[in-house]
Amino acid sequence: MKGQFFIIAGVLIVSLISLIFQYFYDFTKINPSLYGIFYERNYIYEIKEMYINVINLSTCESLEEELKVLENELFLDMISRGILFNGTHSGNCPGTITIRFSLISEKFNSNTSFSFTK
């Protein structure tokens, strides 16, 4: 009788420990696709800062050309990372300039628009 108790108790303890490990094992799984999404969100802020820097540092005469150069560079840089960049700008200098850009990848789609006064 004592032998049966130890065998049953051992089986229950091993089963309980394996259930606990399976429960915590799911928490250790990392989904790398989510990391890519969060990383792509950082590009929005970086691109916005680049636009603002170009607008601040450019003169009204060279602003149109500088923005086109920036948009071409961003397009090439983002395409090399697997992200499609499409950027446009409108407005007059001096005055309000409206920037619109989108980032599209396999699991991420973002449309951003902001205005800046020079």
Question: Which pLDDT tens digit goes with each residue over 73-106?
Answer: 999 999 988 889 999 999 888 889 999 999 998 8
pTM of the prediction?
0.65
Closest Cα partner for 71 from 89, 50, 87?
87
Instruction: For 22-39, write each residue's pLDDT tens digit.
Output: 777 766 665 555 555 557
Residue 63 CA to residue 116 CA, distance in Å, equals 13
The rounded distance, in Å, linking the Cα atoms of 36 and 17 is 35
- In our burial notation (b when 16+ CB lie closer than 10 A, e otherwise), range 52-88 reads eebbeebeeeebeeebeebbeebbeebeeeebebebe
